[in-house]
């Protein structure tokens, strides 16, 4: 047998370590495209035809239909091995009717936010929250308002984004920071679920680095009649230049959507910045961004059904939310708050 020199031993060890590359590669150097592409139109469509089905009875806040939809979400997280947060006892953040009805008594029943969680590998105490509301407006005059775009689209996007991160984690590329996937209730009645979370956070708000909120990403509006390759970006620069830059960089690297900032103008009369769940994070000083496709003819009508969703657009926007989250979860520094 030949003798092996010390130099040869070092070379062999280097080669051996290289062969174990997936186990030792830092997340920052990993291309997320492989995981981004696990977010597919077929899976989003399968989920949405269930979440926005007549069986869910329009997912009115606190209703039996919304609770049934919630059970479906939990079942998907369980199947994908995405647990509830370690600090919680189950997938529910329970919200009493008294809270939901305190500002304007609409006779709402007890309801629940639903949360799932992937713990960070290096900075587990820093938390990125990705949110979408899973309620809609229920049944009116015998018609079921399925809310496929509003906000079934964001709801199923969260499922796919969580699955993508979990696949990455299983491959040894889990996020450095923790991620909370938060399905909030009561949005349609006044952002109640996100307000309840902000007032009763599972993780300190000081440790919450950003909120990515996804509300209506499955259709197009009249302003983009010729193409669905866009998304409205609202709020990213209101508190943090870093967050705005991260959205731009992530899109340029991976998705190449047209980022439309029309509704980000503080003078815009629609005031969308104040009208979805990111606002309850932003008003607490947390950098927040809202991804949105704009309103359309079926907005808040019984005709907002899953057959009208443009699944290619839904897929690409969900992928954009994923890669933005990837950048946020794995950067060296959290986004700096540099604006009032």
Residue pLDDT, tens place only, 109-148: 999 999 999 999 999 999 999 999 999 999 999 999 999 9
With cut-offs at 50, 70 and 90, classify the pLDDT of residue 27.
Answer: low
Looking at residues 295-303, what average pLDDT do you find? 98
With cut-offs at 50, 70 and 90, classify the pLDDT of residue 13.
Answer: very low
Res 24: pLDDT: 35
Looking at residues 264-277, what average pLDDT do you find? 97
| Whether residue 9 has pLDDT greater than 90 | no
For 241, the token pair is 């230049």
pTM of the shown model:
0.92
Res 340: pLDDT: 81
| Whether residue 4 has pLDDT greater than 50 | no
What residues contact residue 11 under an 8 Å CB cut-off, 6+ apart? none
With cut-offs at 50, 70 and 90, classify the pLDDT of residue 315.
Answer: very high
With cut-offs at 50, 70 and 90, classify the pLDDT of residue 29.
Answer: confident
| Whether residue 302 has pLDDT greater than 80 | yes
Q: For residue 56, give the 3-state DSSP assignment.
A: helix
Looking at residues 250-258, what average pLDDT do you find? 98
Which pLDDT tens digit goes with each residue over 47-104? 999 999 999 999 999 999 999 999 999 999 999 999 999 999 999 999 999 999 999 9
| Whether residue 18 has pLDDT greater than 70 | no
My answer on whether omega of the bond before 151 falls inside 30° of 0, hence cis, is yes
Which pLDDT tens digit goes with each residue over 150-192? 999 999 999 999 999 999 999 999 999 999 999 999 999 999 9
Which pLDDT tens digit goes with each residue over 88-114? 999 999 999 999 999 999 999 999 999
Task: Determine how many CB atoms are found less than 10 A away from the CB of residue 55.
Answer: 13
State how far the Cα of 186 lies from the Cα of 96, in Å rounded to an integer.
Answer: 11
| Whether residue 259 has pLDDT greater than 80 | yes
Looking at residues 270-285, what average pLDDT do you find? 98
Looking at residues 205-211, what average pLDDT do you find? 98
Looking at residues 212-226, what average pLDDT do you find? 98
With cut-offs at 50, 70 and 90, classify the pLDDT of residue 28.
Answer: low
The rounded radius of gyration (Å) of the Cα atoms in the chain is 21
List strand residue ranges (DSSP E) for the chain, in order.
Answer: 92-95, 111-118, 123-133, 139-140, 143-144, 177-184, 208-214, 230-234, 258-260, 288-292
Res 306: pLDDT: 98
Summary mean pLDDT of the chain: 93
| Whether residue 7 has pLDDT greater than 80 | no
State how far the Cα of 184 lies from the Cα of 114, in Å rounded to an integer.
Answer: 7
State how far the Cα of 232 lies from the Cα of 210, in Å rounded to an integer.
Answer: 18
Res 252: pLDDT: 98
State how far the Cα of 117 lies from the Cα of 162, in Å rounded to an integer.
Answer: 8
State how far the Cα of 232 lies from the Cα of 271, in Å rounded to an integer.
Answer: 13
Res 25: pLDDT: 40
| Whether residue 3 has pLDDT greater than 60 | no
């Amino acid at each position: 047998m030949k003798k092996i020199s010390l130099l040869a031993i070092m070379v062999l060890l280097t080669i051996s370590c290289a062969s174990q590359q997936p186990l030792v590669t830092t997340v920052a150097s990993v291309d997320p495209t492989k995981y981004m592409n696990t977010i597919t139109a077929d899976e989003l469509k399968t989920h949405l035809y269930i979440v926005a089905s007549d069986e869910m009875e329009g997912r009115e806040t606190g209703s039996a239909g919304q609770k049934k939809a919630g059970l479906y979400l939990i079942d998907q997280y369980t199947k994908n091995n995405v647990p509830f947060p370690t600090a919680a006892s189950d997938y529910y953040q329970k919200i009493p009717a008294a809270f939901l009805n305190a500002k304007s008594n609409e006779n709402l029943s007890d309801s629940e936010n639903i949360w799932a969680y992937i713990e960070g590998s290096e900075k587990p105490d820093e938390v990125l929250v990705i949110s979408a509301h899973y309620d809609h407006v229920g049944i009116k005059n015998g018609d079921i308002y399925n809310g496929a775009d509003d906000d079934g689209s964001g709801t199923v996007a969260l499922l796919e984004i969580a699955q993508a991160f979990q696949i990455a984690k299983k491959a040894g590329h889990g996020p450095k920071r923790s991620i909370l996937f938060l399905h909030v209730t009561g949005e349609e009645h006044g952002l109640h679920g996100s307000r309840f979370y902000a007032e009763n956070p599972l993780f300190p708000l000081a440790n919450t680095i950003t909120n990515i909120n996804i509300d209506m990403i499955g259709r197009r509006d009249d302003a983009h009649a010729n193409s669905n390759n866009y998304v409205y970006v609202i709020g990213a620069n209101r508190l943090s230049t870093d967050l705005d830059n991260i959205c731009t960089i992530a899109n340029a690297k991976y998705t190449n959507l047209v980022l439309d900032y029309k509704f980000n103008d503080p003078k815009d009369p629609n005031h969308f910045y104040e009208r979805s769940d990111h606002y309850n994070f932003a008003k607490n000083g947390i950098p927040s961004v809202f991804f949105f496709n704009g309103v359309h003819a079926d907005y808040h009508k019984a005709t907002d059904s899953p057959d009208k969703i443009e699944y290619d657009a839904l897929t690409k926007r969900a992928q954009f939310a994923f890669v933005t989250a990837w950048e946020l979860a794995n950067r060296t520094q959290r986004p700096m708050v540099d604006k009032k």
